[in-house]
Chain A
Amino acid sequence: PFYLFSFQQRIEIHKLRQGDNLILGFSIGGGIDQDPAQNPFSEDKTDKGIYVTRVTEGGPAEVAGLQIGDKIMQVNGWDMTMVTHDQARKRLTKRNEEVVRLLVTRQSLQKAVQQSMMS
């Protein structure tokens, strides 16, 4: 049988400089000012958290191990579960930060056998 888990992961992304901007290489969706029912990645459709909606190939986020559908819980210690979309964007794109450390929650299917073997 398969179980649906969510486990947390810490991801460190080193921003890439492109011209005048520092980019991370992914897109976010969600926020307390957005409509949570339209979020395709959330399990609970009232969840207004920030989710990763796209990860550009070969970008810093992909290299760091960020996956599409991850929910971002913290950025550099700042909470991201109750922020607006714009606030989230701002926290990720601070000009003086080259590294962002994210705490993300990911859901995955694991086999029960594997789980019992691991624990």
Chain B
Amino acid sequence: MSAAMDTESTYSGYSHYSGHSKKAHRQGRDRHKSPRSKDGSRSEKSVTIQTPPAEPLLGNDASRAEEGQDDNWGETTTAITGTSEHSISQEDIARISKDLEDSVGLDCKRYLGLTVAAVLGLLVFLTPIAFILLPQILWRDDLEPCGTVCEGLFISVAFKLLILLIGTWALFFRQPKADIPRVFVFRALLLVLIFLFVFSYWLFYGVRILDSKDTNYQGIVQYAVSLVDALLFIHYLAIVLLELRQLQPMFTVKVVRSTDGESRYYSLGHLSIQRAALVVLENYYRDFTVYNPALLTASKSRAAKHMAGLKVYNVDGPGNNASGQSRAMIAAAARRRDSSHNELYYEEADHERRVKKRRARLVVAVEEAFTHIKRLQAEEQQKAPGEMMDPREAAQAIFPSMARALQKYLRTTRQQQYHSMESILQHLSFCITNNMTPKAFLERYLNPGPTLQYDRDRWFSKQWTLVSEEAVTSGLQDGIVFVLKCLDFSLVVNVKKIPFIKLSEEFIDPKSHKFVLRLQSETSV
């Protein structure tokens, strides 16, 4: 029964530390990820920051001119994301130092919980065996002989223990997916229940059997069997409480991202707020398009222009009427005729047109590039060994002809920092290997995809904080609102109960479908 005692820390699903991978860091924009650590599925966020590497380009001279200025596809947007770049580097440091503090405490608490649960599980598992073996060891000679019945009971105990073992492994031995702030209430309750249960059995056993050296061995074995039966029932209770109860959907939650208003709806069952937050976050990585700070700059600049428009001067005297001033500002702003809506409209129409044009050029370029590649069949492979290329080389060969169009399109849609040249080449060779059409290759670039599709460096969202007015272990109720904050944006979650549906039936006799003609005829007389 692992993963039971969860610890008190912020949810940092993907920033699990281990001590040996910290390196000195410098301020900069790139972060380089080290490969997976030993303890399985968590990749480390190491603190090495390197200067942008100068990648060796293809041997093709034509491409060199284009890629020369674009060694790093991510490095072209300094002008646009000025403020956020600064804030990121400062927040990086804050984040890193916080992680350093947390990591030590985090590991200890989590492992403590796991060890307690493991020890308890082992104890519980060995108890029936101990009940059966102790009399044999301690007062073997006094025991009544107990032939077939006892042997039958031994077999049943063995199989039940095996089933219990398999069931526990299936249900509880799972990789913990997340760190959540508070203990899981149901798991804690179950552990307490099991502990009390086993404790009372041991108490009874110790007093009535060990002390008095009971000689009725069959009774002792049956006592052990009853313990195993009861454990199986507790396992059933655990399944119902931990798994089945939350399967039936009872609530619909609406998740809205604060920066651009993208929203989704999910159905949840009876969960605690923290578990609901987990579900929402797991679905966030799959369903929401990736957070792109470059797309927010337009509205920010508009907002700045609104604020800068008016100034208030206090003419009447030294009285400092702050609220009156702000009201006057708002009223004046409302009255003034500004044409910023006009600007917005034309700007957006223009942008649309530009994007469509670039997209058309891109599609044509890619289609043309794909026509240069032809897959060799098996027989042909023996005939022309000289010119054969593997997918990677084929990708590198056709990449230059579409690189410029792709780069321009990505720049126009402000996605260029999400795709490095290396990742594009990899994707291209992947598509070539799997016989994909140009459209399938482009699917990844034409529309922004979910966060999972991109490199972890670009996620902007790894450490989450749950902000809630109710206790996070309390269950979901209608009307609860909680917020999942990460450094750059937050997700506002609104819970609504699924309405009680009154369904009644109505029987329609198939013979009751009759019709009549409605005419309006005109007759001349």
Contact = CB atoms under 8 A, between A and B. Distances in A.
A23 B524 CA distance: 9
Interface string A28-50: 11100111001100000000000
Nearest to B519: A34
Q: Chain B's interface: helix, strand, loop or mixed, by majority?
A: loop
A93 B525 CA distance: 7
Interface string B488-525: 00000000000000000000000000000011111111
Interface in B158-179: none
B520 A89 contact: no
Contacts of A53: 522
Contacts of B518: 34-35, 38
A26 B523 contact: no
A28 B523 contact: yes
Contact of B519 (A23, A26, A35, A92): A35
A80 interface: no
B525 A85 contact: no
A34 B525 contact: no
B524 A34 contact: no
A89 B525 contact: yes
Interface in A6-33: 23-24, 26-30, 33
A30 B522 CA distance: 8
A101 interface: no
A106 interface: no
Interface string B369-410: 000000000000000000000000000000000000000000
Interface in A42-74: 53-54, 56
Contacts of A29: 520-523
Contacts of A85: 521, 523
B518 to A, nearest CB: 4
A101 to B, nearest CB: 15
A26 B525 contact: yes
B520 A34 contact: yes
B524 A39 contact: no
Contact of A54 (B519, B520, B521, B524): B524
A4 B315 CA distance: 68
Contact of A26 (B520, B521, B524): B524
A27 B522 contact: yes
Nearest to B524: A27
Nearest to A22: B525
A13 to B, nearest CB: 10
A39 B522 CA distance: 10
Contact of A38 (B520, B523, B524, B525): B520
A11 to B, nearest CB: 14
Contacts of A27: 522-525
Interface string A80-107: 0000010001001100000000000000
A108 B439 CA distance: 70
Contacts of A38: 518, 520
B8 to A, nearest CB: 73
B525 A28 contact: yes
A92 B523 CA distance: 11
B517 to A, nearest CB: 9
A36 to B, nearest CB: 8
A30 B518 CA distance: 11
B181 to A, nearest CB: 67
Contacts of A34: 518-521
Nearest to A88: B523
A31 to B, nearest CB: 8
B507 to A, nearest CB: 30
Contacts of A56: 524
A28 B522 contact: yes
Contacts of B523: 27-29, 85, 89
Contacts of A26: 524-525
Nearest to A27: B524
A89 B523 CA distance: 7
Contacts of B522: 27-29, 53-54
Contact of A92 (B520, B521, B525): B525
A93 B524 CA distance: 10
A39 B525 contact: no
A35 B518 CA distance: 5
B515 to A, nearest CB: 13
Nearest to A13: B525
Most buried by A among B518, B519, B523: B523
A39 B518 CA distance: 12
A54 B525 CA distance: 10
A33 B521 CA distance: 10
A30 B520 CA distance: 6
Contacts of B525: 23-24, 26-28, 89, 92-93
Contacts of B520: 29-30, 34-35, 38-39
B171 to A, nearest CB: 67
Interface in B2-46: none
Contacts of B521: 29, 34, 85
8 contacts: A26-B525, A34-B519, A34-B521, A35-B518, A38-B518, A53-B522, A54-B524, A92-B525
A-B complex: 6 closest residue pairs judged by Cβ atoms: A35-B518, A38-B520, A27-B524, A92-B525, A29-B522, A24-B525
Given A28-B522, A29-B522, A89-B523, 16 more contacts: A24-B525, A26-B524, A26-B525, A27-B523, A27-B525, A28-B524, A29-B520, A29-B521, A29-B523, A33-B519, A34-B521, A38-B518, A39-B520, A54-B522, A89-B525, A93-B525
